[in-house]
Chain A
Amino acid sequence: MSTGADELDRRIVVATQGGLPLVSDPWGAVAAELGISADELVGRVESMLERGVIRRIGAVPNHYAIGYTANGMSVWDVADETVDAVGEWLGALPAVTHCYRRPRRLPDWTYNLFAMVHGRSREAVRDQLEEIAARLEARFPGACRARDVLFSSAILKKTGLRIGAAA
């Protein structure tokens, strides 16, 4: 991050990673902290949204607190040649909030596809996954060799990104 443009992105990350100030004009407050005009900040934030540096601006709920007490990380062992097709299909299902392909760690871990499913009970999540697995088998016969679901039993930390103030 040697150029001035990159440095401003970085300073915006550092200034807002802990959250926006809860004041009437939060963008103005952040701009003042950074020593730039509110227009310059807003223009840069728009550009960061367009470039995908910022995914979204808003609230991150504690999913337990809003009633989603079952947080299931479903994991699937899918043949390498089909995993991308299965991943696209799985990610498009309404029940799935995140879907990624990740490396296996043999022999400890055989799964290469991860899909998060949130629900109001473990039973509800298990039922949903049962149905998804049946549809997956019908759509991609034999592609999924094994699956599991890991429920979370405690949030140990949830602060989000924290990069340092100095490069």
Chain B
Amino acid sequence: MSARSRPADVSGALDDTDRALINVLQGDFPLSRHPFADVGARLGLEEADVLARLRRLLDARVLTRFGPMFQIERIGGAFCLAAMRIPEERFGQVAERVNEFAEVAHNYRRDHALNMWFVLATERPEGVADCARRIEAATGLPVFLFPKEREYFVEMKLEA
């Protein structure tokens, strides 16, 4: 396991303004011509300060992304949760192989016999099964697919 992948709580390094900015930016980002200036106005910050803080938070990986979040299903694509059971001694090597697939949008190690859980994002629904087969071929291990049958609730906001 590389140092980069180990979860780190760097929340102590965030100041109150960073937290306020993260919270505001998890809401609706303006579709105006100068949206960062508009966000800054709500927080009493200059546009340049908003941009500099945002760049720093992304560089420090406090934020993993900034932009639209897509439901690719709505334009013909698919997301699918998948899991694998990986022998401990092969975990690092298999994680590398799996992460090489562009379709793997995110991937977590979890404490369970099924110890790797990832999300596949593909342009076509049939891409999910195809990608799972290619991962199985690349790793020699079975991939369990857990497509969502129903969504009851999604709220992707966490107060910083």
B20 at the interface (CB under 8 A from A): no
Distance of A90 Cα from B151 Cα, bound (Å): 11
Contacting A at CB under 8 A, from B6-58, are 6-11, 14, 19, 22, 25-29, 31-37, 47, 51, 54-55, 57-58
A53 at the interface (CB under 8 A from B): yes
State how many angstroms separate the Cβ of B69 from the closest Cβ of chain A: 5
Choose one: A25, A55, A152, A157; the contact of B69 (CB below 8 Å): A55
A155 touches B106 (CB 8 A): yes
Residues of A within 8 A of B10 (CB): 65
B148 touches A101 (CB 8 A): yes
A13 touches B70 (CB 8 A): yes
B155 at the interface (CB under 8 A from A): yes
B131 at the interface (CB under 8 A from A): no
Contacting B at CB under 8 A, from A1-29, are 1, 6, 9-10, 12-13, 16-20, 22-28
Bin the interface of chain B by size.
35 or more
A9 touches B63 (CB 8 A): no
State how many angstroms separate the Cβ of B19 from the closest Cβ of chain A: 8
The count of residues in chain A whose C-beta lies closer than 8 Å to any C-beta of chain B is 80
A97 touches B9 (CB 8 A): no
Contacting B at CB under 8 A, from A25-73, are 25-28, 38, 42, 45-46, 48, 51-69, 71, 73
- What are 18 contact pairs spanning A and B, CB under 8 A? A1-B75, A19-B58, A23-B51, A45-B31, A48-B68, A54-B68, A57-B29, A58-B25, A59-B54, A60-B66, A65-B61, A66-B22, A67-B160, A71-B108, A102-B147, A103-B149, A155-B107, A161-B72
